[in-house]
Amino acid sequence: MGMNIIYIILGTLAFAICAPVLGCLLAGVDRKISARMQGRVGPVLLQPYYDVRKLLGKENASVNATEGVYVTCALVFTLLAGGIFVSGGNLLMSVFVVALSALFFIMAAYSTRSPYAEIGAARETLQVMAYEPMVLFMAVGVYMALGSFNVATLTWAAAPIITDTWAIFVGFLFVLTIKLRKSPFDLSYSHHAHQELVKGITTEMSGSTLAKVEVMHWCENILFLGWVAMFFVWSNPLSWVLAIAVALAVYFLEIWIDNNFARVKWQLLLKSAWIVAIVLGGVNIAVLAYW
C-alpha cells in the first residue's frame, strides 16, 4: 500500500509536468488543423500557451473567492486522476476522480450566480450524466478483460484488450466527443465563437481562474487519449508506438467531427449517449461475462 501511494505521488508529479506541455501542443495543433479545414492560416502552434500566459497576467475579476477555490480543486483532481493512470494504478479510481473534478467545475459555475454560467453548469451536468455510464462500462470492460482494474496489468497481457472490448472502445469513442468538448456535443462550453451562451460555464471566469480551466482541459485531453491508447497496449514494447498512433488518429478524427457537425440539442445528446452505452457497452460486457 505504501509503495502504491508513492507511485501515485510520483505519477501525479510527472503528469503535472508533462501533461500541460503536451496538452498545450495538442491544443495548438487542434487550432492549426481546424483553421486549415476552414480555409484559414490559423494561429501559431504555441498560441494556447500565449493565451494562458496573458490570462495569468490579468487581474482576476471573479465575483467571489469560492469560484477560484472550486476551479483549483477541479485542476488538482484532474492531475491526481492522471497520476493514478500513468502510475499504473486503479483505472476505476481514476474515472471516479475525474468525475469529482467535473463536479467541482460545475460548482464553480453555480457559485457565480450568473444566468449564463448557471445554464452552462446545468448543461455540463447533463453531459456528465450522458457520458459517465459509458465511461464506467469502459472501466468494467477493462477489468473483465484483464482480471484487474490496475492499468499496469496491461503490460503483461498476451494481446491488446481491444480484441475483447472492441464494442466498448467504439462506444467510448462516441462519448469521447463529449468529454473533449467537441461539436456536436459542446453544449456547455465551446472553444469556438458559436456558443449562444457567451462562454457558457466559464462566462464569469477570468484571469488566473480561466487560465487554470484551460490548463485543466489540456490535462484532461492527455488523460482521455491515454484511455484510448490503453486499448492497444500489451506485453510487446512496440505496442506503445501503435497505441500513440491510434490516440493521435482518434484526436484527428475528433477535430474533423468538430468542424463538420452542427451542435445538437441536449435531448439528443442524452438519448444517443445512453443508447450507445446500453447497446455497445452492455452487450460487450454480457459477452465477456457469459461467452
Predicted confidence (pLDDT) per residue in 98-122, tens digit: 999 999 999 998 888 888 888 888 8
* Biggest distance spanned by C-alpha atoms of the chain: 59
**What is the mean pLDDT of the segment spanning 202-224?**
91
User: Cβ distance 85 to 91 under 8 Å?
Assistant: yes
Whole domain around residue 266: which residue ranges?
Answer: 2-290
CB atoms within 10 A of CB 284: 24
> What pLDDT, on a 0 to 100 scale, did the predictor assign at position 197?
52
Q: Identify the bridge partners of residue 150 per DSSP, sorted by sequence position.
A: 90
**What is the mean pLDDT of the segment spanning 267-289?**
92
Q: Can you read off the three cell numbers belonging to residue 112?
A: 457565480
**What is the mean pLDDT of the segment spanning 272-278?**
93
> What pLDDT, on a 0 to 100 scale, did the predictor assign at position 198?
57
CA–CA distance, 34 with 126 (Å, rounded to integer): 27
Task: Point out the least confidently predicted range of 163-177, 192-206, 270-284.
Answer: 192-206
Res. 203: pLDDT tops 90: no
User: Cβ distance 226 to 26 under 8 Å?
Assistant: no
Nearest partner of 48 among 221, 261, 185, judged by Cα? 221
> What pLDDT, on a 0 to 100 scale, did the predictor assign at position 263?
83
Mean pLDDT of the chain: 90
> What pLDDT, on a 0 to 100 scale, did the predictor assign at position 204?
80
Res. 73: pLDDT tops 90: yes
Query: Confidence band (pLDDT; 50, 70, 90) for 193?
Result: low
> What pLDDT, on a 0 to 100 scale, did the predictor assign at position 195?
52
> What pLDDT, on a 0 to 100 scale, did the predictor assign at position 262?
82
CA–CA distance, 149 with 152 (Å, rounded to integer): 9
CA–CA distance, 284 with 286 (Å, rounded to integer): 5
> What pLDDT, on a 0 to 100 scale, did the predictor assign at position 2?
56
Q: 76 or 58, which is more confident?
A: 76
Res. 190: pLDDT tops 80: no
Q: What is the pLDDT of residues 5-56, one digit of tens each?
A: 888 889 899 999 999 999 999 999 999 999 998 888 888 999 999 999 998 8
Polymer length of the chain: 291
Percentage of the chain modeled with pLDDT above 90: 64
For the chain, the domain total comes to 1
Most confident of 63-72, 114-123, 137-146: 137-146
Nearest partner of 8 among 71, 70, 73, 97, judged by Cα? 97
CA–CA distance, 195 with 137 (Å, rounded to integer): 31
Tell me, rounded to whole angstroms, the distance of Cα 114 from its chain centroid: 25
CA–CA distance, 178 with 123 (Å, rounded to integer): 11
**Helices (H), ranges, the chain:** 2-37, 47-56, 65-86, 91-110, 115-146, 166-179, 207-229, 239-258, 266-276, 283-290
Nearest partner of 93 among 145, 130, 135, judged by Cα? 135
Q: What is the pLDDT of residues 217-268, one digit of tens each?
A: 999 999 999 999 999 999 999 999 999 999 999 999 999 998 888 888 888 9
> What pLDDT, on a 0 to 100 scale, did the predictor assign at position 191?
64
